Structures are given as structure tokens and as C-alpha cells.
Amino acid sequence: MAWKPAYILLILLCTIINYIAALMIDKLESKDLRKFWLVLSLGISFGVLIVYKYFSFLNESLRGIFTYFSFSYPLGHFDILLPMGISFYTFQTLSYTIDVYRGDIEAEKNFFMLSLYVTFFPQLVAGPIERSDRLLPQLKEKVSFDIDRVLDGIKIMLLGFFRKIVIADRLAVAVNAVYNSPEDFSGIYYIIATILFAFQIYCDFSGYSEIALGAAKVLGIDLMKNFDRPYFSKSIPEFWRRWHISLSTWFRDYLYIPLGGNRVSKPRYYFNTMLTFLLSGLWHGASWTFVIWGGLHGMYQIVGKITRDTRSKAKSTLRLEKTFILKIFQVIFTFTLVCFTWIFFRANTISDAIYIIRNLFSDIDMWKDINYLYRVANNMGLNYFEFLVGIISIALLLIGEFLARKRPLYISLSKSNFVVEGSFYIILLLIILTMGVYFNANQFIYFQF
């Protein structure tokens, strides 16, 4: 409300509509009336989302089509300020009403309790998108002060601050320098900037999620895990089981499965998959670059499904199944595919993305020149030392995630010697304070979604 007071009315509207709709669905026996209230809640919630997030995008897209065919377009330009967190709280309220309609949960009769579920501050503006059956019962439990739980929450938050302030905000300087003026750079700059962006967006978003999880834990609330070492994935489907888990499972449970999932004919399966990923891309932002990003991931899924048997036979013939070499290759190949899609996600326009892709290897003959590579590291908005700090931080991140493959890092550290654990967090805090980027600090990327 301090940012834009009137926009609290949107959260209030979504909460009231879904509160009333869920009560009516729970109360009524008529299938038609229950469906009416569900459709009403869906219509109003999605209506708010479309008007405030997508109306300008749709308006400008139609204007472009009319202009292309030399027709006059009746509507003027609209500049609507995007409400912070609107994609998250609309999806959270919708999942609640749908779950009541399905009979998975009972309608919440206490309006203030439902309001707390919708506006729970740690995860309100950027997730994770919590389900009512997980969060509502926790909000009703009496919580007493527990020093160990509070310390665990603070430890998780520190790890999140390291990802955001030390890694993401530092990498953002180099990424922005290249992607905001792609015509001023050449191939290797695009490749490095894209790889850095892969870690920037991951550390930015997973950093927020860890801060949210830690803040909630201090209050005695356990939020769902939103990331699970996604860049160690050996396939695109596995990547989506590890990346933005709350959104991936939301689309799976409330769109993909209701459409029939994979229990349908192949053409219908391909349609279900592509539609889910296109809408997932559109959820991320009102731009065709995000739609293409989602479409590419949908295409990856479909191609993977079509070639699955062939790939299995090839691995069996070459006796590569479950070998370390194959796993390394799969991780690198999957990361490469994901990075290619990040080009569209980060590019300011489709034309910028195409320009970058067409010139990815424009200076390949210079890559063997160590002096050229040194100049590259110094010409991306960061000096050589800052660039090196970013690379070392990424390496530490990956090492930490590898060590945390069985259980969270803060739990593993708690099992170690007190001196070791204490020293780790003191050093981590010092790194955040001394190596963190505090000049021209970037807001969390997912605030814009």
C-alpha cells in the first residue's frame, strides 16, 4: 500500500470473491450452481489479471496487426502500472477455490484467516505459490518461540541474501551491459552474458524463495521448497521438476492434468504440453519473448517424448546407461538447451534475441587468444576483479548445491562441529557485507511478474 495504495483493492477483491465463491460451492448441492460460482471466481480473478497485466500487451499486439494490414486502429495507448505480485496471489486464490470445488478441502469460514493465507507477506510478491491445504492449517496452529527454529530461519535467509546480493546483483551488471546494447558486442560476449544470466535469474529467484522460506520459518511456518538444484538436471522434464516447483506443479494440477495430461492420444498430448508451456511463458510476462521462451520449452518436451525410445536404444547399444560420462553429458546438454531459451527470456525484443542468436559465433576465431578473453572479461560492465568474484561465487554455489543433494545445506552444517558451523555463517555474513552489490541494486526479477 505504501507503493500504490489503491492496488490493495485488487487483493481485497480477489479474496472476497473467492471467499464467497468457496462458501457457496461448499454449501450448494446443485452441480450447475457450484459450477456457476467456480466460473464466476475464475472469471473475475483472471479478469483482474488480464486487465492489469495483459491489456496493454493485447492492445499493442492488435495495433501491430491492424497497422500491418493498413487498417486504422480505434484504441489509443494504455500505460497501466503492473500491480506487484498479481500473478502470484491470483493463482493462490484460484487454487483455493478450485480445491474446494474438487472437494479436496473445505471452504474457510473465517474471512480474516483466508485473507492471511492470500497476503502472507514472505511469499506474497514472488512466491512460492502456496496451496491452501498446506498453508491454512499452519496459520491456525499455535506457535511458541523456538530459538532453534528462529536460528534455522535466519540461516536460510543468509543463504538467500548471498545468492541475491553477492551473485545475482553482480552478474546483473554484466548481463545488462550486453543485453541492453547487443549491437555493441560480439559472439563470446553473448555466450558469456547468457550463461551469467542463467545464474543471475536462478540466484535472484531462488534467493528470494530462500529469504521467504527463512522469514516464514522464523514465524513458525514451513513454506514449500521452490527450487531443487535445477542446473544439475539431466533432461528438460527433470529441469521443470526442479525449477519454480510451485508454478510447475500449479500448471500441472490445474491445467495440464484437467486437459487430459498424457493419458490421451499423441496429438492431444502434444497440444496439452504446448498449451501449458505457452501459457507458462505468458504468465511470466506480457511479451512475445516470454511466449517464445515457453514455446521452446514445450517443443523440447515434445521432441524428447518423440525421441525417447531411440535415445534409450542408443544408450543401451553403446553401453552408456547410468555411466558417469553420460550423466555429465546430459547435464551439460540440458543446461545448454535451457540457456538457449534464456536468450528470449532476457532479450528486450524478439529482434534483439534473433540478432544475438545469429551472431553467437561471430568472433569464434578470436576465442583462442587469451588477451582477447581478458579484454572480454573487462568490457562487460565489471572490472576483472568483480568478474572473477562472480565466477568464484557461482563455483561456490554449485559446490554447495552438490553437497546439499541429500539434505539442505543448513541442516548438514548443523550436524557438524559448532565451531565449523559458526565460522561458516560468520564468513558468509562478512562476504555479504563486503562483497555484496549495493550500488544500483536491482529489485527481484520476479517482482515484475
pLDDT digits (tens, 9 = 90+) for 422-443: 999 999 999 999 988 887 666 6
Q: What is the pLDDT of residue 13?
A: 92
Could you tell me the residue ranges of all domains in the chain?
5-140, 146-188+213-221+368-443, 228-359
What would you measure as the largest C-alpha separation in the chain, in angstroms?
Answer: 75
Whether pLDDT at 449 is above 60: no
Q: What is the mean pLDDT of residues 75-96?
A: 83
pLDDT mean across residues, the chain = 90
Q: What is the pLDDT of residue 285?
A: 84
Burial (CB < 10 A; 0-12, 13-18, 19+), residue 23, is middle
Q: Is 284 a catalytic residue?
A: yes
Q: What is the pLDDT of residue 145?
A: 94
Residue tagged active-site, from 77, 244, 284, 297:
284
Whether pLDDT at 15 is above 90: yes
Whether pLDDT at 82 is above 70: yes
pLDDT per residue over 112-124, tens digit each? 999 999 999 998 8
pLDDT per residue over 377-423, tens digit each? 888 888 888 889 999 999 999 999 998 888 888 888 888 888 998 99
pLDDT per residue over 318-335, tens digit each? 888 888 999 999 999 999
pTM of the full predicted structure?
0.91
Q: What is the pLDDT of residue 39?
A: 95
